[in-house]
Amino acid sequence: MKKIFLFTVLLLTVSVSWSQRSQIIAYIDMEYILENVPEYLEAQNTLDEKVVKWRQNLDKEARFIEVLKTDLANEKAILTKDLIEEKEEEISLKQDELRRLESLYFGPKGDMFLLRKQLVKPIQDQVYNAIQSISARKRYDFVFDKSSELVMLYSNKKYDISDLVLGTIDRTRLIDEKKAEREERNAPKELTDRQKEAVSKREAAVAKVLSAREAKKKAIDEKRKEYLKKRNKKRELLKKKKEALRKKKEEAKKNQDNNN
């Protein structure tokens, strides 16, 4: 209802101002445009592959937690209070690790956000720049996105400028490619070295971010290993105490039998 209300207000605004001067309206289909930009499809495929890998890692950790819960439920009747608390603590720790890992992948500043910004945003900027250029040249007052949540009850194909946007992007890409080829042919070796240095710096920055992510994950793994080591040591000590207590009871019983 809110969207319909906003759309109605927009139409009324256009109607009221129609007497002052004719409004020029166009629309695009953003999905259609992006699907026909090869760089976007390549970037989206790369992002999707990463997301699948991250989801698999999270699912693996979640399944491991479920196994721990099932084992605890099955063994709870024969475990001591201390062992039950240790297992519950281990499960809680694994759940915290899973939440941290999920935030690391899909949080507001996570890997997905950074990778999308690196891969997809430059292509979206190309599309918006093309729309701005066409709108200024054609003097459009409004440009709607047909594929967005804005309700379009009717759209006349002659007002669809999606192909015009694609053509502008293609021309811009062709101009940039020719310019790059010309610069590559004419540029001295010093300029080429500078370009290589700039690329190297960008790659180093991305590598630094990914390295930091890996370091955080490694720290989590180390913390878990340390916890398991302490837990096993505590279990072993408890086992030895129980064994000593059992032997002491057997010794006491044996002495009692001898005295009798």
Q: How many domains does the chain have?
A: 1
44 lies in some domain:
yes
Q: What's phi and psi for 107, nearest 5 deg?
A: -70, 175
Closest C-alpha among 28, 108, 160 to residue 116? 108
| Average pLDDT of the chain, as a whole number | 77
User: Is 66's pLDDT higher than 90?
Assistant: yes
More confident residue, 59 or 24: 59
109-146 confidence digits (pLDDT tens): 889 888 888 887 888 888 888 888 888 888 888 888 87
Q: Which of 3-7, 87-91, 129-133, 198-202 has the lowest mean pLDDT?
A: 3-7
197 lies in some domain:
no
Full 3-state SS string of 211-235: HHHHHHHHHHHHHHHHHHHHHHHHH
137-192 confidence digits (pLDDT tens): 888 888 888 776 665 545 566 777 788 888 888 777 777 766 776 666 665 555 55
Burial of 85 (C-beta count, 10 Å sphere; 0-12/13-18/19+):
exposed
Per-residue confidence at 13, pLDDT binned at 50, 70, 90?
Answer: low
Q: What is the DSSP string of 32-89?
A: HHHHT-HHHHHHHHHHHHHHHHHHHHHHHHHHHHHHHHHHHHHHGGGS-HHHHHHHHH
Q: Are 126 and 169 in contact (CB under 8 A)?
A: yes
Q: Are 137 and 94 in contact (CB under 8 A)?
A: no
Handedness of CA 69, 70, 71, 76 (dihedral sign): positive
Query: What token pair was written down for 195?
Result: 């370009």
Closest C-alpha among 38, 30, 35 to residue 170? 38
CA–CA separation, 36 vs 44, rounded Å? 12
User: Is 210's pLDDT higher than 80?
Assistant: no
Per-residue confidence at 104, pLDDT binned at 50, 70, 90?
Answer: very high
| Residues spanned by the domain of 145 | 2-186
